[in-house]
Structure 1
Amino acid sequence: MDEKWFNMTGVVNNYYLLPEEPDPLRTLHHKDSIAKSLLAQRTSENRDKGTLELKSLKVTRDVMRYYMCEKLIPAIQEHWPDEDEGRTIYIQQDNATPHILPDDPVFRQVIEQTDLDIKLLQQPPNSPDMNILDLCIFRSLQSHTDSRAPQSIRELIEGVEEEYRKYLVDKLARSFVTLQSCIREVMRNKGAINYLIPHMNKERRQAEGRLPIALSIDRELVGQTIAFIEEAEAILAAEKEQKQQEKSRSCRKRAARKEPQQP
């Protein structure tokens, strides 16, 4: 679950022109002046549901809660396959301030009204590769939309929605394999993100019917990763305990200074 600003154009664009074609002209006061849009649909007494209403929308926690509870959860409930009934569904989001917390009472109440086991997770901070939307899907949608060269906000929105509807299932499958390969590299680098995304010839393997659904991970690497996490958690716990002790000592010293002196 994430939000994405789609830009009318990129800061740098590549164009392939015929010899007789003129160079494209783009006029902007500054790169910060590039128009962008979030996509939303609203219903009012003046328009039918699904009719695009172009207006400024500030993404707040209330807005994210509305989209989560009124759109995402009902969509999951409608499309979740019967054969996967009983399996836990994890909704991942990053740590942006507007995102709701896993224990949000409204969210939990909506979940309780479904017959699904849905849990909300936060992705690791400063780890965009752990988010499949940022890693693959949003980039792809923006790239395909750029190729349309939209001339207005309305054309931008229509282009994004059209590219989303046309998004290939095979491309989604490759994206999830890429995500797994990134997770594996993070484990090998003990949480660091200074790695290169592995090249796996996914398109060729998919065409040959050899693209895996799940990548294998060495048992020893799993053990090393668990040990590393436990060690890191122990260090953090010790640091937290030390800060609490220092705070308690400081409070006692201030209290002692305020006590009246006995005659």
Structure 2
Amino acid sequence: MHLSGRRPTDQTEELEQLRGVDVAARSTVRSAAAICGLPQSTLQRRIGTGELRKVTSVVKPLLTEENRNTRLHFCVSHIDRDTLLYADMLNTVHVDENIFHVTETTRRFLLLPGEVAPTRCVKSRRYITRVMVLAAVARPRVDTVTQNYFDEKLGVWAFMEKAPAKRSSRRRPAGTLETKEVSVTKATYHDMLISRVLPSIEARWPNASGAVVIQQDNAPARIKPDDPQFTEAAACCGRHVELRFQPANSPDLNALDLGLFCAIQARQRKTIARTLDELIEAITESYWELPARTINAAFISLQDSMDQCIKQRGDNAYKPRHMKKAKLEREGRLPLSIRCSDEAAVYLAEPAIL
């Protein structure tokens, strides 16, 4: 075999100069090229060959020692000691809030040659219409009584109210009912759980028997698990419903924050919305269009997050693992519960845990 062209130059020594420089000083190809004395085009080729790699660092919640211990015990409580499988969480409802905007300050589009990039203008970023919504999901399953497949989408509700306009404008006279955003307080959250989430569970939950656990985060607006009004309203549902806090500073232990809100937002962005009513309608439609496999995949990711949390002894300094869930589902090999890793099993065997 005859080789043609110039042989590649060994530039390992120049690239090794990057190790002695703080990563904050080499966040761009230009700055890294200035440090090691190589052209930017050379570094781009090294990125293509894998000698250099681009990584994205995401800011995560700062955890205290108490937070780490709480996270650790929360994750351990979801493991069956006999089978070492994580709980299927079929009786758990995850609720969480998220802010949706009519448009983002930065958006990416794919254009053909000759097409003009869209121009989007607002008076100020503060004038971008937004709304806070509460979503509730559980794990999809087959109803053991009716044998019907239930996708476990319980609903999504916006924190909003209809109020008459105080003054006239070019768009509407005074007194016209307008949709306005409502702040999330303990009272509004309390009302949302009782008037929205509980009736949805009563109407859509597949099994008439069995306890239901509603998992919420530790935000100040949350209500206590023994809240008397919630307990009374839950008793009217004809089933045992209880509230549970997820560990503080732990969005990685809620299924909605593990890709479901991003999936809803990706669908919502395909719809052009200009008013608050149109935005809420787009969010609602995007929520109900979510495939059941997307929700199920989020719960599998939640089990893996628990496993990673145990391996890190309660810390959140881990990268989510790519589990090829879509491929496993196509092949019919996606499990209901994953088995805890060997590192997590070693922690379970420690005397302090036993």
Using structure 2 for the length normalisation, give the TM-score. 0.57
- Deviation readout 1:63-110 (Å, 9 max, x if unpaired): 11111112211211222223x722x31111111111111111101111
Identity %: 30
Change (3 A) 1:155 1:196: same
| Partner-residue secondary structure (3-state), 1:55 | strand
Task: State whether residues 214 and 242 of structure 2, in contact with CA within 8 Å, keep that contact through their aligned partners in structure 1.
Answer: yes
**Which position in structure 2 is the counterpart of 1:259?**
none
Q: Which structure would you say has the larger RCO, counting Cα contacts within 8 Å and 6 or more residues apart? A: 2
Change (3 A) 1:102 1:21: same
Alignment coverage as a number of residue pairs: 222
Using structure 1 for the length normalisation, give the TM-score. 0.75
**Which position in structure 1 is the counterpart of 2:200?**
75
Alignment of 1:193-212 (within 5 A): 193-212=316-335
1:112 aligned onto 2:206: no
**Which position in structure 1 is the counterpart of 2:131?**
37
Task: State whether residues 41 and 53 of structure 1, in contact with CA within 8 Å, keep that contact through their aligned partners in structure 2.
Answer: no
Q: CA deviation at 1:117?
A: 2.0
| Partner-residue secondary structure (3-state), 2:98 | coil
1:85 aligned onto 2:179: no
Q: In the aligned structure 1, how far is the partner of 2:212 from the partner of 2:255?
A: 16
Q: In the aligned structure 1, how far is the partner of 2:282 from the partner of 2:197?
A: 22
- RMSD, aligned CA: 2.7
| Partner-residue secondary structure (3-state), 1:20 | coil
Q: CA deviation at 1:6?
A: 0.7
Q: In the aligned structure 2, how far is the partner of 1:11 from the partner of 1:194?
A: 29
Alignment of 1:242-261 (within 5 A): none
- Deviation readout 1:158-185 (Å, 9 max, x if unpaired): 2111111211111111111111111111
Change (3 A) 1:55 1:31: closer
Give the letter for the 2:268 counterpart.
T
Give the letter for the 2:191 counterpart.
Y
Change (3 A) 1:65 1:213: same
Q: Which runs of 5+ in 2 are unaligned?
A: 1-94, 133-157, 164-176
| Partner-residue secondary structure (3-state), 2:230 | helix
**Which position in structure 1 is the counterpart of 2:50?**
none
Give the letter for the 1:85 counterpart.
S
Task: State whether residues 190 and 228 of structure 1, in contact with CA within 8 Å, keep that contact through their aligned partners in structure 2.
Answer: no
Task: State whether residues 129 and 179 of structure 1, in contact with CA within 8 Å, keep that contact through their aligned partners in structure 2.
Answer: yes
Q: In the aligned structure 1, how far is the partner of 2:336 from the partner of 2:270?
A: 30
**Which position in structure 1 is the counterpart of 2:57?**
none
Structure showing the higher helix proportion among its residues: 1
Q: CA deviation at 1:218?
A: 4.7
1:164 aligned onto 2:284: no
**Which position in structure 2 is the counterpart of 1:132?**
255
| Partner-residue secondary structure (3-state), 2:214 | strand
Q: Out of 85, 107, 119, which is 1:25 matched to? A: 119
Q: CA deviation at 1:229?
A: 8.0
| Partner-residue secondary structure (3-state), 2:279 | helix
Q: CA deviation at 1:56?
A: 2.5
| Partner-residue secondary structure (3-state), 2:197 | helix
Q: Which runs of 5+ in 1 are unaligned?
A: 45-51, 232-263
| Partner-residue secondary structure (3-state), 2:180 | coil
1:154 aligned onto 2:277: yes
Give the letter for the 2:113 counterpart.
P
Alignment of 1:46-61 (within 5 A): 54-61=179-186
Q: In the aligned structure 2, how far is the partner of 1:215 from the partner of 1:152?
A: 43
Q: CA deviation at 1:205?
A: 1.0
